[in-house]
């Protein structure tokens, strides 16, 4: 029979591996020059995100008793409830702020590396060589 510690271990190992794959593919999504054996980084990122979500749900289900006990203990202490509420509000604020003030991608939300203009696209006086609005 498998112990609870071993069950946790067997869920945490793939969760860690898939989590890192999702993290790394997220950073590499817009870099076309970093292709590893023809792997589609966007597809890898999306699917590892789905798998990771399922593993997190499974992980939480496995720990539902522990979560319940800790939550009941927290709600018996007013200071701990205030700390928890503060942490939740700060986390929600960070999520909101990154969505509002974070960098904007194209229509699909992508951030291609080519989006940044290189210095060789500018004249020495700082005007854009590719500016179509200027008259010559």
The Cα angle at residue 81 between residues 80 and 85, in degrees rounded to 5: 115
C-beta of residue 12 within 8 angstroms of C-beta of residue 56: no
What angle, 0 to 180 degrees and rounded to 10, lies between the N-to-C axes of helices 41-62 and 64-74? Answer: 70
pLDDT tens profile 87-113: 999 999 999 998 888 766 666 666 555
pTM (global) more than 0.75: no
pLDDT tens profile 25-67: 888 886 766 667 778 888 899 999 999 999 999 999 999 999 9
């Amino acid at each position: 029979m498998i112990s609870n510690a071993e069950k946790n271990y067997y869920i945490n190992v793939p969760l860690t591996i898939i989590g890192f794959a999702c993290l790394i593919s997220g950073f590499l999504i817009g870099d076309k020059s970093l292709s590893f054996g023809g792997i589609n980084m966007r597809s890898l990122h999306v699917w590892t995100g789905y798998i990771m979500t399922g593993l997190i749900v499974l992980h939480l289900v496995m720990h539902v008793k522990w979560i319940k006990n800790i939550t009941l203990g927290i709600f018996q202490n007013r200071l701990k409830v205030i700390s928890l509420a503060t942490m939740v509000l700060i986390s929600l604020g960070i999520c909101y702020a990154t969505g509002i003030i974070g960098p904007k991608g194209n229509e699909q939300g992508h951030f291609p590396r080519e989006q940044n203009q290189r210095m060789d696209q500018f004249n020495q006086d700082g005007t854009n060589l590719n500016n179509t609005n200027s008259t010559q």
